[in-house]
Amino acid sequence: MRVFRRFATPVALIFVGAFLTQCGAPSPPAPTTTSTTTVPTTTTSTRTTSTRTTPPTTASTAKPTTRPTPTTPTPAAATVRPVTAAELGASWRPGCPVGPELLRRVSLDHVGFDGQTHRGELIVHQDLVADVIAVFEQLYRLRYPIEKMRTVEHYPDALDELSMEDNNTSAFNCRPLPSGRGWSLHAYGRAIDINPLINPYIDSRGNIEPKNAGPFLDRARTDPGMLHAGDPAVLAFTDRGWRWGGDWRTPKDYQHFERR
C-alpha cells in the first residue's frame, strides 16, 4: 500500500495536469505592455501643434474695406496787387468817390460752368480784400460755379449792361445807382455782382437788368449758379456781414452783395 501511494501521487498529478490542459483551462496571462506607456501620445500634441501653426484666415488679417474720404478742393492762393488809373481804364475817372490807391486787384480761383478751375480777377476796396478772399475760397470749396470773372474795363466803355449780359462776375465800377441818385457801392469797390445774367436786377416797375435775363425771372429754376435764399453760396457772404439784394423787397437784386 505504501508503495502504491508513493507511485500514485506523482501519476495523479500528471493526470490532473493533463486533464486540465485538455479541458482548455486558461493559462496564466502573459504580461502585456499598456498603451499608455508604450504608445506615444502624439494625438494631443499633434492637435495642439496644428492649432498653433494654422495660418490666420483672410478674414482675420484683411483690413476692413473703406471708401476713400473725398478730399476738400483747395484753391490756389489768391494774389493781391495795387492798381493804377491806367489799368482801370474806362471803369474809373476823376471825380469818382475813391481813387485807385484805395483799390486792389485780387486774382482768385473759381469753379467754372464746365466744372473746371479757372482764374479770375476782381477789383475791390483795400479794406475788403481779406473778406473777399475768404468768401471766394468758400465758394470754391462749395463748388459753386461762376461762369467768368474779369474786370469791367474789358468791355467797351466799361458798360455794366454788357458785363451783365455776358454773365460776368465783377466788383468795382465807378457808376451811379440805377435810379441815378448817388453812387452805387460798386463805385467804392464795396459790392460784387455774381452771375448777373441768371441772377437779374428787377426794379419796382418790373424793369430788368440785364435786358436778356427774362427767362431767369422764374426763381423756381435751379440752374447751376442761380442764387436762392438760404443757399450756401449766399450764406458765404451774409454770414460775414454782407447784404444780399435778393433779400430786398424792392428792388430785387439777386446778383448783388455789398459790404459798407
Q: Where are the domains of the chain?
A: 79-258
Q: Which residues pair with 105 in a beta bridge?
A: 81, 123
Task: Select the more confidently predicted residue: 79 or 65.
Answer: 79
Q: Whole-angstrom Cα distance, residue 124 to residue 190?
A: 6
pLDDT at 71: 64
- Give tens-digit pLDDT for 107-156: 999 999 999 999 999 999 999 999 999 999 999 999 999 999 999 999 99
221-229's contacts with Cβ under 8 Å and 24+ in sequence apart are 223/198, 224/113, 224/145, 225/113, 225/144, 225/145, 225/146, 225/147, 225/194, 225/195, 225/198, 225/199, 226/195, 226/198, 226/199, 226/254, 227/194, 227/195, 227/199, 227/254, 227/255
- Give tens-digit pLDDT for 224-243: 999 999 999 999 999 999 99
Task: Select the more confidently predicted residue: 244 or 45.
Answer: 244
- Give tens-digit pLDDT for 74-94: 899 999 999 999 999 999 999
pLDDT at 72: 66
